[in-house]
Structure 1
Amino acid sequence: MNTTINDIEIEQGSDNPYADLGFPDADEMLVKAKLAHEIAQIIKSRRLTQQRAADLLGMPQPKLSEMLRGKFRGISQAKMIECLNRLGRDVEIVVKKASSSTLGHTQVVVA
């Protein structure tokens, strides 16, 4: 759906900004973004320094810094899940039949 305001056309995006920008791995990037956001929230709530958090997560501080700034292409989903485990979070993976299409998708739900 497009809207025009003051002669400027505004296009409504989807739920995935990576898809809107044309990234071929948009679904994976969205999952990683949500995992990174949750990691950042836990670090912030615990008032950990990046160095202390990096030590706890078993990764170099510069790598953690990049992940927290959205540069997570070099970090696997498995590593991010491991980080959540090290931060005291249980991560459940549920596999179910796709609801409407022949291709399934992955999503992150924080409880």
Structure 2
Amino acid sequence: MRTRIVNGVEVTTSSGNVFADLGLPDAEKLKMKSGLMIEITKAVRRLDLTQEEAGRRMGLPQPKVSALLRGDFTNLSERKLMECLNRLGYDIEITVKPAADAVGHMTLAVA
């Protein structure tokens, strides 16, 4: 992160991962899960599904759908979130390649 002064105000440029910027553990995992959750929310809206209908399609009870659409994905794994997207009509591709740095990172690219 880089800090600079803009109009007398100290501004810190984000690293691109708000979870890492906040110092949260498992920041890469949280970023991935939040991106998947955002896509699920978009899909539910695009398909004009009720929470009950979305739950049936995704294999989740309505209260979990409600929590997910409010941004609570704490009890859902990345795998389950990807499965939900599959059931909503999304293809998911995972690409693995050597990292430029000693430690790699995860990226979610949405087409």
TM-score exceeds 0.5: yes
Whole-Å Cα distance in 1 between the matches of residues 91 and 58 of structure 2?
15
Q: Report the TM-score when normalising by structure 2.
A: 0.90
CA distance in 2, matches of 1:70, 1:91: 21
Normalising by structure 1, report the TM-score: 0.90
1:107 aligned partner: 107
The alignment partner of 2:11 has SS state of strand
Q: Which residue of 1 aligns with 2:89?
A: 88
Does 1:37 pair with 2:74? no
Aligned to 2:3: 2
Whichever residue aligns with residue 65 of structure 2, its letter is L
- Any unmatched runs of 5+ in structure 2? none
State the Cα deviation string for residues 18-69 of structure 1 (Å, max 9, x = none). Answer: 0011111100000001111111111101111111101111111111222222
- Aligned residues, how many? 110
* Structure 1 residue ranges, 4+ long, deviating more than 6 angstroms after superposition: none
**CA distance in 1 between partners of 2:97 and 2:14 (Å):** 27
